[in-house]
Chain A
Amino acid sequence: MARRKWHGDYLYLFQNLVMKDFRIRYRNMSLGVLWSLINPLVMMGVLTFLFRHVFGGQSEPAYPLFVLCGLVPYNFFIGAFSTGTTSIVMNAPLVKHVPVPREVVPVAAVLSNGVHLMIQIALLIALTLLSGLRPSIAWVWLPVVWALYMTFVCGLALGSSAINVFIRDTRYVVESFNMVLFWLVPIFYSFSIIPQRYVEVYKFNPVAALVLAMRNILIDGIPPPMSLVLNLVIAASFTLAVGLLIFGRLKARFYEHI
């Protein structure tokens, strides 16, 4: 017997689930959405101080903006990947008792992080303009690269959330991975200092690819190179396909294991 079809309104459902997460997260915070701004701003300040005044050598004029272009994609990635990974286990009552397609749960977890993201992208744009840079036609690429990037993270979260039901250590693997990733993505350093033989490996990482695209678009005011966009397209479609495959294979047994 196939699992019965759900005849609902996906758009309305996702809106509700995203707003639910957002409300729950901020209802108990007196500063509310300001927290979404404080964290990246503090990190930006610390990194700017370190690499301009402690280690020295950073003469990039728009270094704070340069760092923020790295932090925003990285923050979204670690937030969405880790909440996505634990989403099925954390929403056990929903998964056990409400006949809604299970795929909705990790995808909604990823999209919920999109609310912070919007706030942080607004901050990025404000900082771009404050740095004396002009809006450019290349900005139309922002929604394109971010849509690809979010699809990529949804694919990862689908796979990892399903695996996390059966191997609960998965979330710790994901958390450690996220920490290591900070150093492996050109957040506080420039792509140009990476030795030639590692360049291709770096470009292969979708998080690094998005950081580069953000810098192209906001700082250089040029569209990202096609090879970069192609990398994101491949990463997004590959992880989504594999994520859905893993999820589809495992979902029938969620009920028994959570």
Chain B
Amino acid sequence: MAAAVRFDHVTKTFAHRAARMLLRDRLVEMVRPSGRQRFEALHDISFELPQGESLALIGPNGAGKSTLLNLATGLTLPDSGDIHVEGRVGALLDLGAGFHFDLTGAENVRVNAALLGLSRRETGARFDEIVEFAGVREFIDEPVRNYSAGMTLRLAFAVTACTDPDILLIDEVLGLGDQAFQAQCLDKIRAFQNEGKTIMLASHSLELLAMLCGRALWLDHGRVVAAGAAESVLAAYRSGQVPVS
């Protein structure tokens, strides 16, 4: 199988200071370049995810999981290294990033579907499916500010899932839903897997990851600690022992 996602010696750094974007700072910088230290969010990451496989991303907070997913989505570019992604990406990286709380559920569905690249016809055809999946039919004409976090998540997940991506990237948001919704998401993700789609999932819920993913990548401080079959990597992560390979 061809690789759906390939990272080749990818390094990503961020400026180390709190962003101060005032004219004065810019002028000072021009006169006196500070040569600030940069923070390495990811260091020399290489991996390949074959098409149709699912990858679990694990690691403590700040390990670089979100940065890795953002790079794979194409939201930001690496400082060095190459990233190849084959196919249409659907990303659920932040709970309702394109949502506006003053708009109704229905209006948000349309705006987000359009942002994710659906046409009017496609949105119309999938609208009912989205609302049904999210289970918010009776609230669909209410402003989203009246929704619970779980309801917003359902709607955001439903829109992303219904754009029919080839590669689905999810960053630690599924944990917010209730049991029933998690089960529903699990079914949907399994359905994606059966269709041969590729999935990358960052989470702290090891049970969820063990159920869904065949492979795992353990990150810490922007470096790969271990990579391979989910079973062994997750077991090693649980026990805190780096497997000797």
Contact = CB atoms under 8 A, between A and B. Distances in A.
B97 interface: yes
Interface residues of A, number: 35
Nearest to A7: B117
Interface string A15-53: 111011001100110000000000000000000000000
Contacts of B76: 252, 255-256
B91 A99 contact: yes
Nearest to B81: A1
Contact of A252 (B22, B77, B117): B77
Interface stretch (A65-73, A154-162, A164-172, A183-191): A164-172
Given A97-B75, A99-B75, A99-B89, A8 B26 contact: no
A17 B111 contact: yes
A134 interface: no
A13 B114 contact: yes
Given A12-B120, A94-B98, A3 B77 contact: yes
A8 to B, nearest CB: 3
B116 interface: yes
Interface string B5-20: 0000000001100010
B74 interface: yes
Contact of A93 (B15, B82, B98, B110): B98
A38 to B, nearest CB: 22
A226 interface: no
B103 interface: yes
Interface in B100-119: 100, 102-103, 107, 110-111, 114-119
B103 A23 contact: yes
Contacts of A13: 114-115
B184 to A, nearest CB: 23
Given A20-B100, A100-B116, A167-B22, 6 more contacts: A1-B77, A1-B84, A23-B107, A24-B100, A99-B89, A166-B21
Interface of B: 14-15, 19, 21-23, 26, 70, 73-78, 82-85, 88-89, 91, 93-94, 97-98, 100, 102-103, 107, 110-111, 114-120, 123
8 contacts: A6-B117, A9-B117, A13-B115, A17-B111, A19-B107, A20-B107, A98-B115, A256-B76
